[in-house]
Amino acid sequence: MGQQLEPEFDTSVPQTARIWNYWLGGKDNFPVDRAVGDQILEAFPAIVENARASRAFLARAVQYLAGEVGIRQFLDIGTGLPTANNTHQVAQSVAPDARIVYVDNDPIVLAHARALLTSTPEGATAYIDADLHNPEHILKEAAQTLDLSQPVAVMLMGILGHIEDDDEARSIVRRLLEGVPSGSYLTMNDGTDTSEEVVEAARIWNLSANPTYHLRSPERIARFFDGLELVEPGVVSPPQWRPEPGQPAAAIDSYCGMGRKP
Ligand SMILES: C[S@@+](CC[C@H](N)C(=O)[O-])C[C@H]1O[C@@H](n2cnc3c(N)ncnc32)[C@H](O)[C@@H]1O
């Protein structure tokens, strides 16, 4: 895949979407990404399992929202590079008329966005090159594809850790949810400071990778759902959120949840 990458990517600074892609077994990454990815792997070998468990949560969350809840619109912010089971594939396998808007601010994700735009004819997918720091802009652009008078699932998977300040992160979540009606959902997932290894991994990350990533405690993650009706089983580690029968449910250094806007 290396020769398909455009020269304007900054290949001197490790980037979050590309390191995540490396851990998930993808090929859309550069030597700088693999170098810091490997350093973190050494300090925290469970990162690969962590990344896979986070993706598996995304798939179960979207399946639940499109199936049991009947949500037909998804706003997936911090999409990452296309991989297996992208949001539109999971949602449209349950509800072919589902409409999905993807948002990321990394140019490499934009360059690969075509793979995210393979909607069913009944549904729709769109990609917005935008920054989570400007939720009003995201909502305005998303309104070209989504009907914001109808419920939307706002997805923030592995992205709020890139916003260090809790007040700022909570303000962004609040402003996003103000733009969608009652019956909409927030679903999120982020790394937690629940082991020494993961704290060391975040330290290594923040020495060189862009943007920096800040672990929170499970309690701080839970506060993002203040004012929402939490879906059972609440804020838990991803393997423990509605696991498939027989699926291992041991906690990892990450917490997730889903809440409904009353
Ligand atoms: C750890 S990856 C998670 C990818 C995917 N959501 C998943 O769960 O597998 C975080 C993604 O968030 C994006 N991101 C980070 N900060 C962002 C910001 N301020 N605005 C938009 N996207 C951002 C990165 O480019 C990256 O693709």
Helix, strand, coil fractions of the chain, as percent rounded to 5: 45, 15, 40
**Percent of the chain at pLDDT above 70?**
97
- Predicted local confidence at residue 9, as pLDDT: 81
Closest atom of ligand 1 to 51 CA is 9
- Predicted local confidence at residue 20, as pLDDT: 92
List all residues 6 or more positions away from 148 whose beta carbon is below 8 Å from its beta carbon. Answer: 139, 142, 179, 180, 181
- Predicted local confidence at residue 247, as pLDDT: 83
Residue 160 region by backbone torsions, left for phi larger than 0, else alpha for psi between -120 and 50, else beta: alpha
- What average pLDDT does the segment 47-70 reach? 96
Closest atom of ligand 1 to 80 CA is 27
Neighbours of 1 (CB within 10 A): 10
- Predicted local confidence at residue 118, as pLDDT: 93
pTM for the model: 0.95
Across 110-124, 156-170, 199-213, the highest mean pLDDT is recorded for 156-170
Contact 20 CB / ligand 1 (< 6 Å): yes
Contact 133 CB / ligand 1 (< 6 Å): yes
User: Taking 70 as the threshold, does the pLDDT of residue 7 lie above it?
Assistant: no
User: Alpha-carbon distance 63 to 91, whole Å?
Assistant: 6
* Contact by Cβ (8 Å): 131, 100: no
User: Alpha-carbon distance 142 to 145, whole Å?
Assistant: 6
- Predicted local confidence at residue 3, as pLDDT: 43
How far does Cα 51 stand from its chain's mean position?
11
The residue whose CB lies within 8 Å of the most ligand 1 atoms, and thus the one to mutate among 54, 60, 104, 175, is 104
User: Taking 90 as the threshold, does the pLDDT of residue 183 lie above it?
Assistant: yes
Neighbours of 6 (CB within 10 A): 8
Nearest-CA residue for ligand 1 atom 4 is 80
User: Taking 60 as the threshold, does the pLDDT of residue 4 lie above it?
Assistant: no
List pLDDT tens digits, range 112-135: 998 888 999 999 999 999 999 999
* Contact by Cβ (8 Å): 81, 18: yes
User: Alpha-carbon distance 197 to 165, whole Å?
Assistant: 22
Report CA(80)–ligand 1 centroid distance (Å): 5
Neighbours of 169 (CB within 10 A): 23
List pLDDT tens digits, range 79-101: 999 998 999 999 999 999 999 99
| Cα-based angle 87, 92, 97 (whole degrees, multiple of 5) | 125
Upstream peptide bond of 211 is cis (omega within 30 degrees of 0): yes
- Predicted local confidence at residue 125, as pLDDT: 97
The residue whose CB lies within 8 Å of the most ligand 1 atoms, and thus the one to mutate among 79, 88, 101, 155, is 79
Nearest-CA residue for ligand 1 atom 11 is 78
- What average pLDDT does the segment 1-11 reach? 57
Which residue is it, tokens 């004819």?
A: 121
Average pLDDT, the chain: 94
User: Alpha-carbon distance 99 to 121, whole Å?
Assistant: 11
pLDDT confidence tier of residue 1, bands split at 50, 70 and 90 = very low
Token pair, residue 30, equals 């550069």
